[in-house]
Chain A
Amino acid sequence: MLEIRELHASIGDKEILRGVNLTVKPGEVHAIMGPNGSGKSTLSSVIAGREEYQVTSGDVLWDGKSILELAPEERAHLGLFLGFQYPVEIPGVSVSNFVKTALNAVRAARGEEALDASSMLKKMREALQLLEMDKGFLSRSLNEGFSGGEKKRNEIFQMAMLEPRLAILDETDSGLDIDALRIVAQGVNGLRSAKASFVVITHYQRLLDYIIPDVVHVLLNGRIVKAGDKSLAYALEERGYDWIKKEVE
């Protein structure tokens, strides 16, 4: 469903992605690992359509069609979700209002009717349960004064509400204690299905103990240089990235 072909992207005159290739099929979970500065967050931003990045060559296909010309919200309407590494605060906008507005915007773009209040509430309750969050959470200002763990759970909560076809989770595990990590993973696993795909970007293999990936990729200097199964994540954890760098050279 997602196919990235020889993708080159830069910010200013600095090239960050230097020929990324990646194919994600429905129902698959892919992990992308790599050291700082390797281009992990750039990759997720480019897929989601952030304007600061210029795609200089290559393509990103969704169901075989290029999405590079689409606005960020149009990509969201297709069913793309990005779990942010640093979710922003929007003061005065409650979590429930935000999620309701987002879900109805997506539905409207797909020609569906807005969800009625009771169905919306029911759906929110289910999502809250999945993430072991209480109802009071819904009336809080979006991300304002949230702890690191709450912010990440909020991302997964929104993902559960929006039911994307492809979710990219950008270092969702960073800054989480072991309980929060388990809950977040539980949230993701609860959404896994034959149709939903995930790209999990992470520094550490410990998240992958909970979310078992089908493929692990190593991103290095803007290129995916190695792919393997879960054991690759263990090898990286144990030996770092230097051996791969050498292998590439």
Chain B
Amino acid sequence: MSQDELLQEVTATDYKYGFYSDIETDRMDAGLSEDVIRRISAKKMEPQWMTEWRLEAYRIWLEMDEPDWANVNYQKVDFQAISYYAAPVKKQISSLDEVDPELLKTFEKLGISLNEQKRLSGVAMDIIVDSVSVATTFKKTLAEKGVIFCSMSEAIQDHPELVKKYLGTVIPRTDNYYAALNSAVFTDGSFCYIPKGVRCPMELSTYFRINEANTGQFERTLLVADEGSFVSYLEGCTAPQRDENQLHAAVVELVALDHAEIKYSTVQNWYPGDAEGKGGVYNFVTKRGICEAYAKISWTQVETGSAVTWKYPSCILKGDYSIGEFYSVALTNHHQQADTGTKMIHLGRNTKSTIISKGISAGQSHNSYRGLVRMGPRAENARNFSQCDSLLMGDRCGAHTFPYIEVKNSTARTEHEATTSKIGEDQIFYCQQRGLNMEAAIALIINGYAKEVLNQLPMEFAVEAQKLLAISLEGSVG
């Protein structure tokens, strides 16, 4: 059954389960200590090895300093002021009338259906009923292929051997400050395993998984594609999340074994703060994948949200002939700050990587591309091509590029191209003369600029991403 048919079947069905109105709240007091970590682990009924793994991460974290090399300025986080455990809390909303009208307006512009709107804004009945039923039908189809797709908590219970084997192998607990913190306190996330030779029959999306809305600030994702398998994974929500959590420190690990391919697409649209720069999410994410021989990992990201972004989805090209790709559009407006890019670590022979980064800065925002291309001594004939473009709107924003290139093999080759341009009044006037208003003109120009990246996204995602880019820039020219 195709994904569309599935959705069709599920959405066409009337509610079978009635209302669900059991509001559960279970929140730990603020603060972080070994005891808090033990309690998190206990609440989740985790096995001893997992508890120990977390505690070790916490001890590592205590020894580390918060990084300050990124080109961003923000008020440092008080880690003792955060509550590290909150069980799913469903907002008690029974109809759309109670939802922030601002949010609904945005939904309308995005063209999101009414049911979808309810789901996204947390109208209780629809979340529960819809997602449970969708997820169940969905899981059956995947199970037939042997694909495991569940929450990280479930995986720890049901597939401990897989979790033990791969967790922390791509991003060790010692990797960086936020990764160590995440390893100690993560509450949930997604786990996915594609067996040998299986082509995952549908695009996997966190969208369909239950409890997704509340995985919290410290999300942990692990995706393993066994030999010769293929999976396309979509992350994130394309509607604005009015999240109150200040800090998001997620970790995503991808493992692509020999001849496997993983395509990982993200549309990130957390609350960016208001036009004056008040509020907004700090998004400090560590994402990395490892490619064995002939494997391929492709990261595509459209980043429009968050007040501060610190994010470098990377590829370790360990196996010979493996391929890494990074396609990114990062848009900042108002007072947003983004320091984002990628690392391509070429270890194997004949490895290939491509980096296409498109930054768009508007308002008084700052947008930095930071990238590392490293060719190891064994990386015979390795190739990299990087293209980093920046587009400026107005004269109060900034675009910065920090490319690092390290080559330790004389047969390896890297190319780096960079451009900076401005949306010209000439371009806007040209579009207006043909009948487009200013906002439509800017949307058209921006989408043209970002086209190489948007083309990498699955179709429906690309359409929403296009609208999102336009909405994020509303009011930025005038």
User: Chain A: residues with CB nearer than 8 A to chain B?
Assistant: 48-52, 71-73, 75-77, 81-82, 84, 87-88, 90-93, 98, 101-103, 105-106, 109, 141-142, 158, 162
Give the dominant DSSP class at B's interface: helix
| Interface residues of B, Cβ cutoff 8 Å to A | 424-427, 429-438, 440, 444-445, 447-452
Determine whether the beta carbon of A84 is less than 8 Å from that of B434.
Answer: no
Are A88 and B430 in contact, with the CB atoms below 8 A? yes
- A87 partner residues in chain B, CB cutoff 8 A: 430
Tell me which residues across on chain A come within 8 A of B451, comparing CB atoms: 92-93
**Cross-chain contact of B430 among A71, A90, A92, A141 (Cβ < 8 A):** A90
7 residue pairs A–B, Cβ–Cβ below 8 Å: A49-B432, A50-B429, A73-B436, A76-B433, A101-B440, A105-B440, A106-B434
Give the complex CA separation of A53 and B435 in angstroms: 20
| Chain A residues with CB below 8 A from B432, complex form | 49, 71-73, 76
Nearest Cβ distance between residue B316 and chain A, in whole angstroms?
31
Q: Which residues of B contact A84 (CB under 8 A)?
A: 430, 433
Bound together, the chains give a CA A71 to CA B424 distance in angstroms of 18
Closest residue on chain B to residue A143 by CB atoms: B430
CB distance from B434 to the nearest CB of A (A): 4
> Inside 8 A of B445's CB, which chain A residues have their CB?
90, 93
Knowing A73-B432, A73-B437, A88-B426 are in contact, say whether A101-B449 is a contact too (CB < 8 A).
Answer: no
B418 to chain A, nearest CB (A): 15
Compute how far the CA of A49 lies from the CA of B431 in the bound complex, rounded to whole angstroms.
Answer: 12
Return the contact of B435 from the options A93, A106, A142 (Cβ within 8 A). A106
Whether the pair B435, A77 counts as a contact (CB closer than 8 A) is yes
Nearest chain-B residue to A93 (Cβ)?
B448
Q: A72-B429, A88-B426, A90-B427 are in contact. Are A102 and B448 (CB under 8 A)?
A: no
Contact of A76 among B434, B448, B452 (CB under 8 A): B434
A158 to B430, CA, bound (A): 12
For A76, list chain B residues within 8 Å (CB).
Answer: 432-435
- CB-nearest residue of chain B relative to A144? B448
List chain B residues, Cβ under 8 A from A162. 434-435
CB <8 Å contact, B434 and A92? no
Q: Do B426 and A92 touch across chains, with their CB atoms under 8 A apart?
A: no
Beyond A73-B433, A92-B452, A106-B434, list 17 extra A-B contacts (CB 8 Å).
A51-B429, A71-B432, A71-B437, A72-B429, A72-B433, A73-B432, A75-B433, A88-B426, A90-B427, A90-B444, A93-B447, A93-B448, A102-B431, A102-B434, A105-B434, A106-B435, A141-B448
Chain A's nearest CB lies how many Å from the CB of B171?
34
Report B-chain residues with C-beta under 8 Å of the C-beta of A142: 448
Expressed in whole angstroms, the minimum distance between the Cβ of B470 and any Cβ of chain A is 12
